[in-house]
Amino acid sequence: MEKDITTELYVLENYLDGMLDRVQHNSLTLKRLQSFEMRLLGLDTLAEIIEYILSETKTLFALDIVSLCLQDAKDEIADYLTSDHYPYETREGLLLTKDDSVFKRVFDFNQRPLLGIYKAEIYSAFFPTESLSPSSVILAPLIRQGRYLGSLNLGSYRSDRFIRNMATDFIEHLASVMSVCLENTLIIETIRRTSLIDPLTGVNNRRFLEQRIEEELARCMRTRLPLSCLFLDIDFFKRINDNFGHQAGDHVLALIAASIKKQLRNNDVLSRFGGEEFVVLLAESDEKNAGEIAERIRSNIAALAVEINGQAMPVTISIGTSTFDPCQASTSPVLAKANALIQSADAALYEAKREGRNRVKNSGVVLDNLLKQA
């Protein structure tokens, strides 16, 4: 009898010890989760949030693999990340997908995480870049207002790490915080960008250029690679309006903007500066490169077969270029550098117009203390 009680007490003690361990472990996880979430909530840009999720979730849960799938039907996420110079195409673990059928199929409209042994036929789409497949996984849907934003996918090389019927409270909580952060940031980015876009041509407006030129100059000082600027102006645009009407003029403006954009790289900055003027910033481009791109833009526009009401309408453009070389930079403030770069390109454009239009003129490397000298 006494022996039975001792054994029972021993079992109970062990059980309580186990419970205590679990409580301590959970409380530690909760603390780590809270600090993870506080940092996540403090991030500003989409690129920062994505990078943080991919790198820090791995540490938080001591995982082997983390991937993040995001639904990007209209390529908005890709555009936002490109303009922030975030290498989303090569970032391991990040997947942008155009349609949400992959989420609907896997989660089957169930808002709960899915977990268990890794089955390639179901899960490989969520871990495509991994050379070694996980043995067990947990996939948490990221949902806001009934819409799939994507999924957070965690993998372990241990088959007993994620087993069916395991509690998923922590991961569910984390997925809902991530969903709110991602949704808010996407909304803010969209508002920010739409207020910086010219509605007629769909390219950035002057306000955007004024913000970006300072960022591009700062990057150029860091990388020690030159930054070039093109100032473009449609020739005799008033005549187009006068002869064909304002609507035809608008149509030509949109065509020209699209044609310029086609000649640029994703991370070049194109903006409508005003009226029939555009400004382009070419990162990592020297004088020669800028001249070549400007010439390509000019000749493509001259070759456009623009027609209004069946009538051919020749359109040409004049371009002035300028280049900022960080190795020749003075200590002038970034705003002075920005103004000098744009003013030099504008002065070269004036020369191009004066010499007969439909041409490119190069003002060379800008001295960023130009304004002080003037």
Ligand X SMILES: Nc1nc2c(ncn2[C@@H]2O[C@H](COP(=O)(O)OP(=O)(O)OP(=O)(O)O)[C@@H](O)[C@H]2O)c(=O)[nH]1
Binding site for ligand X (CB under 6 A): 200, 233-238, 241, 246, 249-250, 253, 275-276, 353, 357
Q: How far is the CB of 234 from ligand X (least distance, A)?
A: 6
Residue 229 CB, shortest distance to ligand X, in Å, is 18
Report the candidate in 184, 182, 225, 227 with the shortest Cα–Cα distance to residue 209: 227
- The minimum distance between CB 255 and ligand X, in angstroms, equals 12
Residue with Cβ nearer ligand X (163 or 200): 200
235-264: burial string, b at 16+ Cβ within 10 Å, e else: bebeebbeebeeebbebbbeebbebbbebb
Minimum Å gap between C-beta 194 and ligand X is 18
User: The dihedral of CA 195, 270, 268, 300: what is its sign?
Assistant: positive
What would you measure as the largest C-alpha separation in the chain, in angstroms?
112
Shortest distance (Å) from residue 351 CB to ligand X: 13
Q: Is the dihedral of CA 15, 17, 18, 20 positive or negative?
A: positive
Give the C-alpha separation, 227 to 330, whole Å. Answer: 15
CA distances from 15 to 9, 23, 27, 28, 36 (A): 10, 12, 18, 20, 31
Residue 198 CB, nearest distance to ligand X (Å)?
9
Please answer whether residues 309 and 208 qualify as being in contact, where contact means their C-beta atoms are separated by less than 8 angstroms: no
Instruction: State the CB neighbour count (10 A cutoff) for residue 224.
Output: 10
- Residue 275: CB minimum distance to ligand X, A: 3
Residue 141 · residue 107 · CB < 8 Å: yes
Closest CA to 47 of 79, 81, 77: 81
Closest residue to ligand X in the complex (CB): 249
CB of 248 to ligand X, least distance (A): 8
Nearest residue (CB) to ligand X, 65 versus 315:
315
Q: How far is the CB of 246 from ligand X (least distance, A)?
A: 4
- Our CB check for ligand X shows the closer of 170 and 236 to be 236
Looking at the Cβ atoms of 337 and 359, the one nearer to ligand X is 359
Q: Which is nearer to ligand X, 269 or 315 (CB)?
A: 315
Pick 117 or 196: Cβ nearer ligand X: 196
Instruction: State the Cα–Cα distance between residues 77 and 255, nearest whole angstrom.
Output: 25
Nearer to ligand X, 59 or 243 (CB): 243
Tokens matching residue 72: 């990007």
- For ligand X, the closer CB: 318 or 363: 318
Neighbours of 131 (CB within 10 A): 4
Tokens standing for residue 284: 């990592």
Spatial separation of the C-alpha atoms in residues 160 and 114, rounded to whole Å: 15
Integer distance in angstroms from the first to the last C-alpha of the chain? 104
Closest C-alpha among 71, 56, 175 to residue 115: 175
Judged by CB, which is closer to ligand X: 177, or 255?
255
Tokens 């969209």 found at: 190
